[in-house]
Every structure is written in structure tokens, then in C-alpha cells.
Amino acid sequence: MFWESLKKWYNEKKTIRRERMRCPKCGATKSSVIDSRQAEEGNTIRRRRECDECQHRFTTYERVEERTLVVVKKDGTREQFSRDKIFNGIIRSAQKRPVSSDEINMVVNRIEQKLRGRNENEIQSEDIGSLVMEELAELDEITYVRFASVYRSFKDVSELESLLQQITQSSKKKKER
């Protein structure tokens, strides 16, 4: 019985088609991995490869294929989740601020992890905005205010003043600790 199952397993393995990474320079399919390490908080494996034919070095990334998240917008329309939209929104809010793209990438990673951790396929756009606001409040107050002014679409200056007062009070509490 054991030998039959082992033989069956071996035959199944033989039928799996093995894809090889194609060299971007010469198109050859044989390459060697010269370095491999985790990237993006362990969600991705970064591999440095060298083509066996032309010795060109190139980088590949391997990540787990995640289930598709769908964002339900305020008007009820649906679109596929895009971490690039979050990243670009934060970049715009952080212009001329001492916030690096690595820090923003970490924020986007945490937001995406929280969303995927919910085990829901559909996510409300308001939930994404709230998560971004939480993260930016910890990262940089000015970036937070800039993002909030667009996200919350203030109707008048008094709403903005109210937000600024909240930030000022929380800053004082943080300094007292």
C-alpha cells in the first residue's frame, strides 16, 4: 500500500509543469538564485537572480496570491482594491513633509493586513479611510490634517478648527506621558 501511494505521488509530481523565470535581457529560461530574503514585513520573498546564459542579474518578487478585495464606494459602485491608490493618496498628503516612502509603504502594508484580516471580500471605502486616518495620526500630524481635509471634505472652516483642536489636545497628552 505504501509503495503504491508513493508511486502515485511521484507520478503526480512528474506531471506538474515547472515554469522557469525568463531573463529580461536575453530571454533564456535558466537562471540561478544568488540571494533570497524576505521583504515587505515577511509578505514577499525577494530573489536576486543571475542568467546562466548572459550573466545578467535581475530581481524577482514572490508573494502569496491574495483573495481579491472589492471596495464599495459611497455611491454603491464597486471596484477592485488598490494599494496604489492608498499609497498615492498618502504621498500627496505628505508632500514636503519628513515622511519617507518606506514609512508610507509600511503604513499601506499595515492597512492592507488589517483589511485582509477581516476575512471579508467587500470593504466599505469609509473603513479604508478610517484606517488611513488612524495610521497617519501616528505618523505625522500635518499629513493627517491634509488627508483629513480631502477625505472628510469639510463644509466650512469650523470643522477644520475642530479637528485641529482634537490634534492639539492629543499632542499635549502624548507630551505629558
Q: Which residues pair with 39 in a beta bridge?
A: 44
Q: What integer pLDDT is reported at residue 17 of this predicted model?
A: 45
Per the model's pLDDT, the better-predicted residue between 174 and 88 turns out to be 88
Out of 40, 65, 90, a domain closes at 65
Out of 13, 48, 65, a domain closes at 65
State the total domains in the chain.
Answer: 2
Q: What integer pLDDT is reported at residue 169 of this predicted model?
A: 78
Residue 123 near residue 70, CB atoms below 8 Å: yes
Per the model's pLDDT, the better-predicted residue between 19 and 36 turns out to be 36
| Single-letter amino acid, residue 104 | I
Q: Are 164 and 79 part of one and the same domain?
A: yes
Could you tell me which residues come within 8 angstroms of residue 99 by beta carbon, excluding any fewer than 6 positions away? 139, 140, 143
C-alpha cell at 46: 525577494
Evaluate whether residue 148 is within a structural domain: yes
Evaluate whether residue 37 is within a structural domain: yes
Q: Which domain holds residue 75?
A: 70-168
Evaluate whether residue 127 is within a structural domain: yes
CA 71 to chain centre: 15
The pTM (predicted TM-score) of the whole model is: 0.61
Q: What integer pLDDT is reported at residue 15 of this predicted model?
A: 47
Helix axes 83-93, 125-139, angle to 10 degrees: 40
Tell me how far apart the terminal alpha carbons of the chain are, to the nearest angstrom: 68
Q: Are 111 and 160 part of one and the same domain?
A: yes
Out of 39, 65, 91, a domain closes at 65
- CA atoms of 110 and 130, how far apart (whole Å): 13
Residue 86 near residue 128, CB atoms below 8 Å: yes
Q: Are 153 and 128 part of one and the same domain?
A: yes
Residue 5 has pLDDT above 70, yes or no: no
Q: What integer pLDDT is reported at residue 43 of this predicted model?
A: 75
Q: Where are the beta strands (DSSP E) in 28-156?
A: 31-39, 44-51, 57-63, 70-72, 78-80, 122-124
Could you tell me which residues come within 8 angstroms of residue 89 by beta carbon, excluding any fewer than 6 positions away? 132, 147, 150
Evaluate whether residue 2 is within a structural domain: no
- CA atoms of 177 and 172, how far apart (whole Å): 9
Q: What integer pLDDT is reported at residue 40 of this predicted model?
A: 67
Q: Are 81 and 149 part of one and the same domain?
A: yes
Q: Are 114 and 132 part of one and the same domain?
A: yes
Residue in the structure block whose three cell numbers are 498615492: 88
35-67 confidence digits (pLDDT tens): 999 886 677 889 999 999 999 999 998 887 777
Evaluate whether residue 157 is within a structural domain: yes
Average pLDDT for the chain: 86
- CA atoms of 167 and 139, how far apart (whole Å): 13
C-alpha cell at 138: 501616528
C-alpha cell at 89: 493618496
Q: Are 87 and 137 part of one and the same domain?
A: yes
110-121 confidence digits (pLDDT tens): 999 999 989 899
